[in-house]
């Protein structure tokens, strides 16, 4: 079976004008598996109108072919597509010895050329509480240390337009976008079992600074971590 990566690439109606078949609803009409790959149905009180649509796909060897109705049509998510295209990136920040009332901070400097779609994961292994804050346009006296970011497709060489820095100093003001507390314990995927994440991405504005700050409210040192996943888009 030929593999089609970009789906759907082209929706092409047949020749000049679309042929249509009209059957009454009582006919219980259904197209056969080999008749059509995809259909657009519109209905009224008495008829079902069937418009055939042909879907063309790009094969792995670069040729364009009509997808066989008998074969499967693989569909991938937008996130997976961005990874395949080399437009998704990540970075992890970790400190296993964050002092009581200490912080772990990620500084994000956004580009002017695209909008960053960001998901952040936080981890905390202390026995007390931790706080996670997201600030927009804060005042930063000294920038943090620039981190190396990684393309999620290891075969691609695209470089992220987002700059990520660790532990800037003297942060004041800023718009508080998110503020949450979560407990320590074993690290999980979600649910504040030592970890928390934003399942719905936040789209960062262009040419701005953002801060993600974790604070350890345990009475002793604790390990804390921030993992950032993102891609760039036009909006």
Break the chain into its structural domains and give their ranges: 4-75, 81-233
User: Tens digits of per-residue pLDDT, 76-128?
Assistant: 777 788 888 899 999 999 999 999 999 999 999 999 999 999 988 888 888 88
pLDDT at 162: 97
What percent of the chain has a predicted confidence (pLDDT) above 90? 44
Q: How many CA atoms lie within 13 A of 234 on its CB side?
A: 0
Rounded distance between C-alpha atoms, residue 207 and residue 85, angstroms? 24
Name the residue with higher pLDDT: 232 or 23: 232
Whether this model's pTM surpasses 0.85: no
Three-state SS sequence of 168-203: CEEEECCEEEEEEEEECCCCCCCCCECEEECCCCEE
Residue of 235, 207, 77, 88 whose CA lies nearest to 158 = 88
What percent of the chain has a predicted confidence (pLDDT) above 70? 62
CATH class of 81-233: mainly beta
Q: From start to end of the chain, where are the E strands?
A: 4-12, 21-24, 38-43, 47-59, 64-66, 88-98, 103-109, 115-124, 129-136, 139-142, 145-146, 150-151, 163-166, 169-172, 175-183, 195-197, 202-204, 209-216, 222-233
User: Tens digits of per-residue pLDDT, 12-55?
Assistant: 333 334 444 434 334 444 444 444 444 444 444 444 554 555 66
pLDDT at 150: 97
């Amino acid at each position: 079976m030929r593999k089609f990566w970009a789906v759907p690439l082209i929706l092409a109606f047949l020749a000049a004008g679309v042929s249509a078949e009209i059957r009454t609803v009582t006919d219980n009409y259904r197209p056969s598996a080999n008749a059509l790959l995809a259909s657009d149905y519109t209905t009224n009180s008495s008829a079902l109108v069937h418009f055939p649509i042909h879907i063309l796909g790009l094969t792995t060897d670069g040729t364009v072919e009509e997808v066989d109705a008998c074969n499967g049509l693989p569909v991938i998510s937008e996130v997976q597509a961005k990874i395949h295209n080399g437009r998704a990136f990540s970075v992890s920040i970790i400190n296993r010895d964050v002092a009581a009332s200490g912080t772990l901070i990620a500084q994000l400097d956004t580009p002017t050329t695209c909008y960053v779609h960001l998901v952040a994961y936080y981890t905390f292994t202390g026995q007390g509480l931790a706080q996670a804050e997201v600030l927009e346009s804060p005042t930063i006296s000294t920038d943090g240390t620039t981190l190396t970011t990684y393309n999620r497709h290891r075969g691609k060489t695209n470089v992220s337009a987002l700059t990520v820095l660790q532990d800037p100093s003297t942060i004041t003001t800023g718009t508080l976008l998110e503020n949450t507390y979560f407990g320590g314990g074993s690290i999980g995927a979600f649910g504040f079992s030592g970890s928390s994440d934003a399942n719905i991405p936040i789209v960062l504005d262009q040419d701005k600074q953002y801060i993600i700050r974790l604070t350890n409210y345990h009475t002793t040192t604790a390990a804390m971590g921030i993992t950032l996943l993102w891609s760039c888009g036009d909006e």
